[in-house]
Structure 1
Amino acid sequence: MNIRLVPYYCLLGFTLVVASCKTQSTTTTTADTKVKQSQGVYQYRDEDPTVKPFFSDRVGVIGRNGMVASAHPEASQVGLAILKAGGNAVDAAVAVQFALAVVYPGAGNIGGGGFMVYRDKAGKAYSLDYREKAPGRATQNMYLDSLGNVRPGLSISGHLASGVPGSVDGMVEAHKRFGKLTWAQVLQPAIDLASKGFPLTERDALGLNRIKTDLNTINPGKAYFLKSVAPADTVSWHKGDLLIQADLAKTLQRIQAQGRAGFYEGETARLLAEEMVRGKGLITEEDLKNYHSIWRDPILAAYKNYNVITMPPTSSGGIALVQMMRFTEPYPLRKWGWNKDSTVQVMIEAERRVYADRAKFLGDPDFVKVPATQLMSPEYLRTRWTDFSWAKATDSRAVRGGTIPGYESLETTHFSVVDKEGNAVSITTTLNGGYGSRVVIGGAGFFMNNEMDDFSIKPGSPNMYGLIGNQANAIAPHKRMLSSMTPTILEKDGKLFMVVGTPGGSTIMTSVYQTILNVIEHGMTMQQSVNALKFHHQWLPDKTIFENGAFSTATIEALKSRGYILEQLSNTLGRMDCVLVRPDGSYEGASDPRADNTARGY
């Protein structure tokens, strides 16, 4: 699926653009809402000029020889050390993946899966799908009762919620094909962190304390991730406490010594299979032995003078990102201004249609026909836009996936790495929910995923993120579940420009979309774009959620007058980790201030 498209507006023509701009002249947006200040930094005026559109004032990290941005300072430091030791971007990425499995157990993993997008220094692009698979004994209705109703919780917590992990195989494949340092070298930092321990951040401690009850309930008799065994619920972790994971260190040492066989065969496979029997899960040693990640052709699509390199299915994110960017490409977002009513309206309507298409068409391409080329074509997108109206919001109840002739019918982590030579890696990896299924493999010391919830366990029934699925994403043995993860790399004028991605469940695709547009349409630096407040619409439920301060009073009033349902969040959207190539060739590492995310460069 090597898909390269010319810019959407070139095929569409400019009639729509001119007409839209003329119609839009009656709205509240004006071209003078943006004032350029020194060094390319933009400030956005509103009714209150003191209001900032940013979550924080964090500035980016600048480096010329390499950059790593990840969810945890320890993992970013590991990646930087690998780069300084002569490793390339893939070496550093593999080391960060395993380090996150130690220091960020809520999402970093060896018991989950993910996607990698890689662009080498010569501009050649690759993508690796190491998404989890359904066990061989999985059935389409395994989470339904005798009446066909969903049995709550079975796909979210406990042993039955887990798919066959892909992370270790994915890292083995990536390193085997592109690594420069030895396998032992890139594994050693994670082993050291697990065996010697690392000091918890405040967020680390809060997360582990939050799941104490689940740990005791789902893992009776185990002491993993508990500060005290008895009574565990009365002893809490604190910032600075040392977390040592001896069994996980042994598991990592087996992977270091034996490669893929150190996880999918032998002692670790035996421990995992025994844990599944103990908790009535489905994964067997045969499932583990038969798992393999797969190299896929990345999606390559043009946007103005940029090239978008992104993930194909089993990710839904790549197709969705291209669709959203193509829907908005004909419109003068830069003129209208960041998060002004016209800009937001077009973006919401794009998101609404994209998520409806996701529900209808997308699934594992090894099992279902995914009409990727058609979904991103100008002709198809033009038909999807015919019911757009400036006067009022589209009713999601009236929106379904589009029609294609001949077709039959939120905890994650991301990291971005660029090395001295310009090789770039964008990886999003996950256990699905925070700490996955909360099952810890006895004797091996790592969390298992709850990725089975990402299947459509019943057509029309929402998953834990509220996403609706259909038959294309139904459960089947050895099938990969659909994902929203959207690791992406952009080129500008044929040269490396941006590495981007985020966790966030169903909000991943829209957060990546906004972060890209913030830079290329609204003139933000990489860190400003990450800091910028965000919003999200996903077709159903029919509402737009937004971070506090993302919309001005004028924007809120204008959108509500057209029938948009808006809901301000008490929490945040996204955990971006990105790298931008600046005009002078240096790298700007941007990590999200909403969490412990950290960029390191040199």
Structure 2
Amino acid sequence: MKYLPLLALLILGCRESPRVDYTAEKSATYSTVAIAGPHPLATQTAEAVLRRGGNAIDAAVAMQLAMAVVYPRAGNIGGGGFLVYRPADGPAIALDYREVAPAAAHRDMYLDSAGNVTEGLSTLGHLAVGVPGTVAGIAAMHERFGSLPWAELVQPAIDLADGGYRLSEAEIERLKRYHDDFAALNEETPFNDSSRVAGTLVQQPDLAATLIRIRDEGAAGFYEGATADLIVAEMESGGGLITREDLRQYAPKWKAPITKEYKEFRLISMPPSSSGGVALSQMAEMIEPFPLSEYGFQSVRSVQVIAEAMRRAYADRAEYLGDADFYPVPVDSLLRDEYLLNRMADFSFDTAGTSAAIAAGNLPMKETFETTHISIVDSLGNAVSITTTLNGNFGSKVMVDGGGFFLNNEMDDFSAKPGVPNMFGLVGKEANAIQPGKRMLSSMTPTIVERNGELFLVLGAPGGSTIITAVLQTFLNVTEYGMDLPAAVAAPRFHHQWLPDEILYESDALSGGVLDSLKTLGYRFREVNSMAVIKAIRVLHDGRLQAAADPRNPDDDVAGY
């Protein structure tokens, strides 16, 4: 019998209920372990693993798979991600399980006959899909650092898919928003019943069957055999590029993290193919000479310093950052102290800078948001910071027929054409051009912070191009402005990414005349509803763990004991 996709099951096989049998907790302090994530059922899954004696990696494995069931717009097995791991008894390490371009991809694949970018081609449908990396990444982290049996960690996700979970109000709203895309891009018409309410029970036999293959066969249960056949059939049905060989060839990569000192703190973050670690480190060092704590939170001077550092880091991102296996990314030069000191040499408090005047720096040599994040600290002090993504909400909006999971639209994170912005308004150049087997540049910024050598913060976020600046501001809110973690996460934010030449700001940010003063100096602004959604854990001075989930997402949740 052919399996029906999850979305059709919502129409044909789900029953209504007036209640959602879980609630999200936004902050709490724990004595032993802490988790922050995007959905209560996912954090509960991780907590149960830790209570059974699993470590932070075990909890992360089970949690990511659970997210594929209960958080389909971003939790994924059809996407990819990044891990930054700081074991209690060894050096930090990073794992890149970002998607890659299929072998048939090419530089100009999204351009029309006139050389212009074809709107929607890299964001919607089968041609937008990169080769998924999530399952291979999860298997790799478990093989190296896991302690509990693999099957035991996969089973909770199978149980959630088979037994069902109830949709929250926030998820219902998202599903309705993308009804037309689902209907246009899938053989069956999902969500044509738009009357579904919070409490609808979702059972996913297709996804359960896929997870059973992963449980029994490991990564091969996804990249080979029946699941691979389903992915390839889906690609062929809609003109996608992924082949069986693309799936067989996929491999995650262990890497050294990006590290940078800021006063008594040490930032540990993700290297390329993420731009997050480099850009975060650049901004932190450009800001460090300025007395932000004296200026005050979101004062005119604080905002100027931070926004100008953002502007310069994003200019460098556009010019120099991409997959280091395909382009000589000049990481050492970009992070050199002298270079970063000179980057702010033309900054003045008297007037706004302009992006037209601030290009990428001259180096001596060259070397939506619907992502999601989890932060975990276990009883031994092992710390996990993981950001994963499908890119847009529900990725390409294509669900693998018979597989029950959405596929990413990560090909949009390449530079379809130099200087043409992607869905997040980010521009790129040769460093991020499309090539077969290449990882597309990301803004994901899973980060761990030490203070005087001891674990201090674990944080990260979804949020597209605003991820990096949200991580920066949360860090500064704690370290410079003295906020406790829940206040630091909830505080209003702003963002500058070089192009377009404007500062985005949340409606409650830049108050008390600050916005008007900055406009007088020449800065341009655009108000947005919200930006990135932080999930963080802080180690308090007495060793307890304070966890904070972002109020910007109603389903964000913390757990622990």
* TM-score (structure 1 length as normaliser): 0.88
CA shift, 1:473, in A, is: 0.2
State the match for 1:128 in structure 2: 95
State the match for 1:581 in structure 2: 539
What amino acid maps onto 2:170 in structure 1? Answer: R
Work out which of the residue numbers 208, 221, 225 in structure 1 matches 2:175.
208
Distance 1:491 1:364 in 2: 27
> Partner of 1:129: helix, strand, or coil?
strand
Distance 2:195 2:82 in 1: 34
Q: Does 1:371 align with 2:338?
A: no
Distance 2:473 2:157 in 1: 33
Q: Is the 8 A contact 1:64 1:587 kept in 2?
A: yes
CA shift, 1:212, in A, is: 1.6
Q: Does 1:184 align with 2:151?
A: yes
What are the within-5 Å matches in structure 2 for residues 200-279 of structure 1? 200-221=167-188, 223=190, 226=191, 232=192, 234-279=193-238
Q: Does 1:395 align with 2:354?
A: yes
> Partner of 2:312: helix, strand, or coil?
helix
Q: Is the 8 A contact 2:333 2:364 kept in 1?
A: no
Distance 1:411 1:487 in 2: 15
Distance 2:526 2:240 in 1: 38
What amino acid maps onto 2:79 in structure 1? Answer: G
Q: Is the 8 A contact 1:536 1:544 kept in 2?
A: yes
State the match for 1:497 in structure 2: 456
Distance 2:182 2:506 in 1: 31
CA shift, 1:167, in A, is: 0.2
State the match for 2:47 in structure 1: 80
Distance 2:232 2:516 in 1: 56
> Partner of 1:302: helix, strand, or coil?
strand
Q: Is the 8 A contact 1:59 1:528 kept in 2?
A: no
Q: Is the 8 A contact 2:139 2:219 kept in 1?
A: yes
Deviations along 1:488-540, one digit per CA (max 9) or x if unpaired, are 00011111110010000000000000000000111111111111111111101
State the match for 1:9 in structure 2: none
Work out which of the residue numbers 270, 283, 286 in structure 2 matches 1:324.
283
What amino acid maps onto 1:146 in structure 2? Answer: S
Deviations along 1:406-460, one digit per CA (max 9) or x if unpaired, are 338x210011011000000000000000100000001101000000000001000
Distance 2:114 2:478 in 1: 51
What amino acid maps onto 1:162 in structure 2? Answer: V
CA shift, 1:388, in A, is: 0.8
Q: Is the 8 A contact 1:208 1:237 kept in 2?
A: no
Q: Which moved more, 1:183-192 or 1:553-562?
A: 553-562
Deviations along 1:291-342, one digit per CA (max 9) or x if unpaired, are 0000001112211111111100000000000000001101111111111110
Work out which of the residue numbers 412, 416, 421 in structure 1 matches 2:375.
416
Deviations along 1:367-393, one digit per CA (max 9) or x if unpaired, are 000111111111111221121111111
State the match for 1:26 in structure 2: none
Q: Does 1:547 align with 2:506?
A: yes
The percentage of counterpart residues that share the same residue type is 53
Work out which of the residue numbers 69, 77, 85 in structure 1 matches 2:36.
69
CA root-mean-square deviation: 1.1
Work out which of the residue numbers 519, 522, 529 in structure 1 matches 2:478.
519
Distance 1:213 1:567 in 2: 28
Q: What runs of 5+ residues in structure 2 fail to find an aligned partner?
A: 1-24
Q: Is the 8 A contact 2:26 2:550 kept in 1?
A: no
What amino acid maps onto 2:519 in structure 1? Answer: K
Work out which of the residue numbers 113, 118, 121 in structure 1 matches 2:80.
113
CA shift, 1:59, in A, is: 6.3
CA shift, 1:222, in A, is: 5.6
Q: What runs of 5+ residues in structure 1 fail to find an aligned partner?
A: 1-57, 227-231
Tell me the number of residue pairs that the alignment of Structure 1 and Structure 2 aligns.
535
Distance 2:493 2:480 in 1: 15
Q: Which moved more, 1:125-134 or 1:302-311?
A: 302-311
Q: Is the 8 A contact 1:206 1:237 kept in 2?
A: no
Distance 1:362 1:527 in 2: 32
Deviations along 1:26-85, one digit per CA (max 9) or x if unpaired, are xxxxxxxxxxxxxxxxxxxxxxxxxxxxxxxx8621111111100111101111111111
Distance 1:129 1:553 in 2: 43
Distance 1:236 1:111 in 2: 28
